[in-house]
Chain A
Amino acid sequence: MYEGMLVSRMLDTKCFNDFAEWYPAFGEEAVTIGAFGSLIEGDFAVPHYRGSMGVFWLRGMSLEQIIGGLLFKTNSVSLGRLSGLHGGDFTKKIMPSVTNVLGPNISSGTGLAMAEKLKGGKGVTVIGFGDGTAALGTLHETLNMAKIYNLPVVYVCQDNQYSISSRSNEFHSWDSLATWAAGYNVPSSRVDGNNILAVRAAVDAGIERARNGGGPTFIDALTFRMGGHLSTDKALYQADDEKLIWENKDPIKNLENHMLNELGISDTEASVFRADVQSRVLDAWAKVMSSESVTLESK
């Protein structure tokens, strides 16, 4: 879990610094890694785009493959056709994001669960999406169907409180999106999205329910987007005092505190580990830089 969060943070940092257009998941790693950390072989992961690369890594894609997607290299799983954020390897049961719009992956991801149930399989599908996407009609149609067909699926709303510059509490009829899900008779809860242990516990309960034939679960994991929608957005609409509050709740620091207090892992040990992850990310990046870029002729 710790490693996954670090991989996500370090890839984001590199991309944020290198690309004019990048959509970092700074501060949201407890949700992305917590939501998908308990899946086993045979389960499907349908991650939200923000923070997806940490999920790809967690599900077994190599750093080289992930970075290959970022740099549009032919050694990426999509042959360089999809961006790094979208290029989930479907052969590893990670749903790629082939659309340029949000929403269809929530409902088509639910179709993976529908087929699993009809085939009598044991796989569970976890679907991530943002609070902005949650207002789309397709989520509401889908929650209704997930309940009536009793599907093995866990919905995790990566509730970073922003859809670009729109504040979710101004555009949603309830404070927590879990209330919406409850309206469809889907068991739902809001959890602290900056505490990976809390996210994971809630998701684990949902996965267990799904695996035992108990149907869908909805989790609203409340977090905060630490910065703009993309690299060029200075997020002037975010209040400084609120940003400071959330900075102090950084999910990686949260986990490090837990490691220190409960497991006795010192900050020195943690920093050695951090440096190791960082060098692996940068080494892989350097290696991928020199590999073949996609062209119209690539096959």
Chain B
Amino acid sequence: MSSKRLTLREAVVEAIDLEMALDPTVVMLGQDIGAFGGPLQSTEGLWERYGDSRIIETPVAEQGVVALGIGMSLNGLRPIIDLMFADFLPLVANELLQLSANLNYMSNGKAKAPFVLRTRGGDGPYRAHPQNMEALLSNVPGLCVVTPGSPAAAKGLMVAAMRSDNPVVYIEPIFLYQGPREEVRSEQYAIELGKAAVPRVGNDVTLVCYGRTVRLMQLAAAKLEEQGIDCEIVDLQTVTPFDRATVIKSAQKTRRLVVAHDAWMNCGIGAEIVATVVSEVDLIARPIRLAGPDVPTAYATALRDNSRPTVDNVVNAVTTMLDRK
């Protein structure tokens, strides 16, 4: 079985490339996705291969473009809408939350919208457009929100998103975008939506994460192992609706819980995870949430770099919880 060492960005592009070759109904809409190669090279090589009729460039009109894509998905196509950055998600909240999320249920299954809205979110080396908006989209039923934490997950999740018969918002973490490479199988494969992965099995504490914090938890778990602490990592992959069964099963085993995400703390995904776990599991320690502070995301490096959970934050949280300090 052949594989290649890809970045997360390259893995997403490969998934789209192979799917467009397999399925002629997959088209892409977005700004600067043609000769420019997409924001942060997110569509590199696709326009050269598939041309103007399938890689469709749009004006700067996010609301109109997202709705256009939703309509296209109702009439036999599977559009991928490239929304340049997650900062623009509030701009298209109307179309996502009040149109696409309602279609299937409100029409009693008669109008399904199989589109993917892909965007890039969170801080990273690129430094512009650093916000995380996944929680904003998670309060409304009917949307599936996905964030990959590794190149291999990125490919499989994008394939599943493109094959889903319902709307998927796929947020690509900018921090990992051009980051660590990983072996990614060359064949096309899907990772089921709504299922978490357990990239590390352990007994002492459950570390729940998604996107950039998956890598964070892995680095922290390696350090904690040196202290004899055995961490289990649960990568949500699908942020909403999240895999309750896998999270609860892990927490039942370890009876300790740490959740980390880059997005703001208040009403964040972490709150939902903690609330779910404490209502089902008798934890032996108070759960800990690590998240961005509830202030607007500043530009100053000194402010911003101290607003993300770090490896040390996770290590401290776990050692405090286990009273190993």
Contacts and interface: CB of A to CB of B under 8 A. Distances in A.
A238 interface: no
Nearest to A86: B106
Contacts of A89: 110
Contact of B108 (A79, A103, A114): A79
Main secondary structure of the interface of B (DSSP, over half): helix
A299 B283 CA distance: 38
Contacts of A81: 105-106, 108
Contacts of A257: none
A90 B74 contact: yes
A114 B72 CA distance: 6
A61 B21 CA distance: 39
Contacts of B105: 81
Given A107-B64, A107-B67, A112 B111 contact: no
B77 interface: yes
B95 A119 contact: no
A118 B72 contact: yes
A227 interface: no
Nearest to A136: B63
Interface string B87-105: 0000000110011001101
Interface stretch (A93-101, A190-198, A264-272): A93-101
Given A89-B110, A144-B59, A145-B58, A112 B98 contact: no
A224 interface: no
Nearest to A149: B56
Given A100-B98, A104-B94, A104-B99, A78 B107 contact: yes
A57 B71 CA distance: 23
A98 B107 CA distance: 7
Interface residues of B, number: 31
Contact of A111 (B59, B75, B98, B103): B75
B285 to A, nearest CB: 38
Nearest to B77: A115
Nearest to A44: B75
Contact of B95 (A44, A104, A110): A104
B71 A115 contact: yes
Contacts of B221: none
Interface in B255-300: none
B248 to A, nearest CB: 25
Nearest to B27: A118
A138 interface: yes
7 contacts: A96-B110, A98-B102, A108-B95, A109-B71, A110-B68, A137-B63, A138-B67
Interface of A: 44, 77-79, 81-82, 89-91, 95-96, 98-101, 103-116, 118-119, 137-138, 141-142, 144-145, 148
